[in-house]
Structure 1
Amino acid sequence: MTFAERLAKLSQADIADSLKGVLRGIERETLRINSNGSIAQTPHPKALGSALCHEYITTDFSEALLEFITIPHADPRQALAQLRDIHKFVLERIGDERLWPMSMPCYIESEDSIPIAQYGSSNVGKMKTLYRVGLKNRYGSMMQAIAGVHFNFSLPQAFWDKWLPAVSATDADQDAVSAAYFDMIRNYRRFCWLIPYLYGASPALCGSFIKDNQSNLPFERLPTGSYYLPYATSLRMSDLGYTNKAQSGLNVCYNQLDNYVASLRQAINTPSADYAKFAGKKNGQYQQLNSNVLQIENELYSPIRPKQPTRKLEKPTDALAERGVSYIEVRALDVNPFSDVGISLEQFYFLETFLVYCAVCPSAEMRGEDFAETERNLRSVVVEGRKPDLMLSHNGQSQTLQDWAQELLKGMAEVAVILDSVQGGDAYQSAVRTELDKVLDPSLTPSARILQHLKDTGQGSGAYALEMAEYYKQTLAQHQYSYHSEAELEQLVADSLAAQAEGERQDNVSFDQFLHDYFAVADRTCA
């Protein structure tokens, strides 16, 4: 069935109407910084609750790298409202500290000035910290201090119940829904170079970030000391940033769920000669969870992941194998520095259009060369996406980025018409038009705007970010809570601290025994 035929099915009233049940949520990472821009050395503030147990406020790699999580929302405006309330609550409780508004960190003295996240004395908490110690040993702390935004998206069962019989004559059981999500994921992999082009916001780096990093990229230097590539979009997504070259040979399969799970489990259980040097204990302390290619599933760096909510101590691969795909996590987004919360409402509308388009497009299985083509395209766009007449590889044929992007956005515009007919208004079509403008005029992209500002003003990238951080701290102080109440958020803090304390009281085995049992049993996890 062609795209046009599948689009016609989508436009049928009963199928289109089921899209009202789409859910979306956000995970936004941001560094706590001092007033001079340096990374905060203070512990995760108790006023924010337990990083181990709080539902909405936690930490990622570092004590200073906060992560804000929303629940899945039926209305993107509510997701943004919850995210903004969380930001206000946090900023009012971190004293003179601020939140870094960009993906790439700055003013870092050394790897050791990035404090590793601590989660308390429970075995689960110790395991989370040890996983991060392993990340530091394997890849260095600098890469782990990079912040991003994850966009979580799910289509409702009501949609699958109508869509799958219409386009593939199959019932929407668990296996069929998972297969359809993997169809979407493969198309996302084919087209995801468009995301850093449109939303990449890291064309330049602070000199402190690359001083100890070896890079073959032809950086140019601004008088302020910032390094940049003239046509870069997202250095966060480059080999210098949040990727893992060591994982390039993993051959993770995105054709079927069972093959995806099997390939990921193989990586988790395959010993690594490179990481064997961190095996065992040093000065009485473990240096990593294990010496395999991946310590756990979360170590796989990918621009998209299939997800199924996990139960207590359940491995993500076991959750997927048992209950299938529930939603997808888009991981290719830089923090939007032009938004006080790292992402804009218009981005929500476009990303949803993009993902529904990926679901509607026919999606053939990918061979090794097909996957390699998607990787080459992504690498090209992150380092030179705004280069005039940049050529990408489309099904083995060369095509300019601009021509291909216009083709994709034409199809997305048709999807947006259907989404607007369901939701009312023209927010989806407007979002697609905004992104088309960026394709036609690269100077409108966030990466171009940032680089032009640095050149025009003579500001360094760090000073520019600090200026934004101060502005957002002031404006969010004026924000009125609209999704949560302050009292509700205070109660969540107290509840999370109590939950951590209770978990620590309940532990009755040594950490050594806990780790042994964890990796000996096939259906457990901790991230």
Structure 2
Amino acid sequence: MDENFFKGELGLEKESLRVDAYGFLPKTKHPFPNHPNIERDFCENQIEIITDVFYSIPEVYQQLLSIQQFILKELANLNTGPEFLWPFSNPPYIRNEDDIHIATYSNHWKTKEEYRKYLAKKYGKRKMLFSGIHFNFSFESTFLESQFKSSAYESFFEYKNQLYLNLAKKITQYAWLLVYLTSASPVADGSLINDESIGKDLKGEYASFRCSEIGYWNSFVPILNYSSLKDYINSIQVYIQNGKLKFLSELYYPVRLKTKGENSLERLLTDGINHIELRMFDLNPLDPAGIKELDFTFVYYFIFYLTQLPEIDFGREEQVIAIENEKNAAKFHPDHIWIKEHGKMVPILKAAEAFLIKMKAFYKKHNRLDILECIDFQLDKVLKPDHRYSAIIKKQYGYDFVHAGIEQMKKYTREAEGSMDV
């Protein structure tokens, strides 16, 4: 196997809500207008950390943690009063939709604000508050070049695009596994649903609200054509032309294929696929960075494992099943979760164990014993469902969710203030 096979470039995007000491969304403006790694997402209160691109997991994790610590320290000392980062994917108290201030822009960026207003009207502001982590990955260039030389493709551009298209199919097919292993939002405040339920805990049905059937999805299952990059783009363009989508970024799908720079269909067609984005990860309040490094490591090697699996048929039926499986995996009680594989309904615990055992055998065969720890870490969540994050979080935060969350966010702020400056 190519010595560069296990090398890739990676980065993270992490969304979090700014909240006050009482668990409400403050009306203050975004306090980091000029930081290269800190942006806004839907609303003024939704901070997005965008790491640089690295070649190693520890480097990405450390930068994510360092930027977050910087944010926590800055928020704690705002002139307008202390603020904090909410450590959960599900939002805290929402008095009403007027509490949610859409991110404002000026000059040539004004279209960003108009797009957010469109989303608010179409999907409702509340769903836009769901926060999560996106994992961005690209293969190392020397690996791509060496694989291209031994392929039947005449064009490197075509080879590279098809490699990512094939990978996107497989990741979408197995998105259910990543959701099961990383779901970390089993409790929400009732104000996520309506104003009258503020202060009432919602729990018991979902391990991940945002990945579940009530999460942030398009009103239809997009059917994409993975035959070629042009076919893929055309299949998205159809939904834009018939009004089901307004822009490429409205494609709410577990995996996105992205070009470098501005994310548009035109750029994607001319410049080709630069990296792949996995979008199904909850914030994990049990880790100060919002994601455990072992989970991050697992996803990295999960991608490489999928790359060497045989190609799959991924037409309309398979795509619908993949999305249904992901939504099912977001349910809370694993003993009652079934997914569809090869035309049959299978208990998710059985399917997850089988996949992880095969993945472990692959890395043993290639003498990558260093990777086995992160796979065993995931197997433990399958063999002992009470070790799943959602079970732990429900136990710790399932009573008076927002008040318990306030204590956790203040704890992380105190830890950040006590850490050494980076």
Q: CA deviation at 1:211?
A: 2.0
2:236 matches 1:264 = yes
Q: Which residue of structure 2 aligns with residue 24 of structure 1? A: 10
Q: CA deviation at 1:149?
A: 0.3
Q: Which residue of structure 1 aligns with residue 107 of structure 2? A: 122
CA shift in 2, pair 1:389/1:247, >3 Å: closer
2:67 matches 1:86 = yes
Q: Which residue of structure 1 aligns with residue 261 of structure 2? A: 310
Take 1:112 and 1:161, find their aligned partners in 2: how far apart are those partners? Answer: 52
Unaligned runs of 5+ residues in structure 2 are: none
Q: Is the 8 A contact 2:42 2:102 kept in 1?
A: yes
Q: Is the 8 A contact 2:190 2:202 kept in 1?
A: yes
Among candidates 339, 362, 377, match of residue 434 of structure 1: 377
Q: CA deviation at 1:131?
A: 0.7
Q: Is the 8 A contact 2:186 2:208 kept in 1?
A: yes
Q: Is the 8 A contact 2:256 2:276 kept in 1?
A: yes
Take 1:191 and 1:20, find their aligned partners in 2: how far apart are those partners? Answer: 20
Aligned residue runs from structure 1 range 49-448, under 5 A:
49-50=33-34, 54-94=35-75, 95=77, 96-119=82-105, 121-123=106-108, 125-164=109-148, 168-170=151-153, 173-211=156-194, 225-230=200-205, 232-244=206-218, 246-248=219-221, 250-270=222-242, 292-311=243-262, 316-384=264-332, 386-388=333-335, 390-417=337-364, 421=368, 426=370, 428-448=371-391
Take 1:129 and 1:31, find their aligned partners in 2: how far apart are those partners? Answer: 18
1:313-337 deviation line (CA, Å, top 9, x unaligned): xx52112211221110000000111
Instruction: Decide which moves more: 357-366 or 411-420.
Output: 411-420
Q: CA deviation at 1:100?
A: 0.3
Q: CA deviation at 1:240?
A: 2.1
CA shift in 2, pair 1:161/1:115, >3 Å: same
Q: Is the 8 A contact 2:24 2:94 kept in 1?
A: yes
Which has the higher relative contact order, 1 or 2, with Cα contacts under 8 A spaced 6 or more apart? 1
Q: Is the 8 A contact 2:212 2:328 kept in 1?
A: no
Q: Which residue of structure 1 aligns with residue 417 of structure 2? A: 477
Task: Give 1 or 2 for the bigger CA radius of gyration.
Answer: 1
Q: Is the 8 A contact 2:6 2:304 kept in 1?
A: no
Q: Is the 8 A contact 2:133 2:282 kept in 1?
A: yes
Task: Please report the RMSD computed on the Cα atoms of aligned residues, expressed in angstroms.
Answer: 2.1
Aligned length: 416
Q: CA deviation at 1:171?
A: 5.7
Take 2:352 and 2:122, find their aligned partners in 1: how far apart are those partners? Answer: 37
Whichever residue aligns with residue 410 of structure 1, its letter is I
TM-score by length of 1: 0.75
Q: CA deviation at 1:212?
A: 5.9
Take 1:267 and 1:337, find their aligned partners in 2: how far apart are those partners? Answer: 36
Q: CA deviation at 1:208?
A: 1.1
Whichever residue aligns with residue 471 of structure 1, its letter is K
Q: Is the 8 A contact 2:70 2:416 kept in 1?
A: no
SS at match of 1:399: strand
TM-score by length of 2: 0.93
CA shift in 2, pair 1:382/1:212, >3 Å: farther
Percent identity over paired residues: 28
Unaligned runs of 5+ residues in structure 1 are: 1-11, 214-220, 271-291, 483-527
Q: Is the 8 A contact 2:14 2:49 kept in 1?
A: yes
SS at match of 1:18: coil
Q: Is the 8 A contact 1:204 1:228 kept in 2?
A: yes
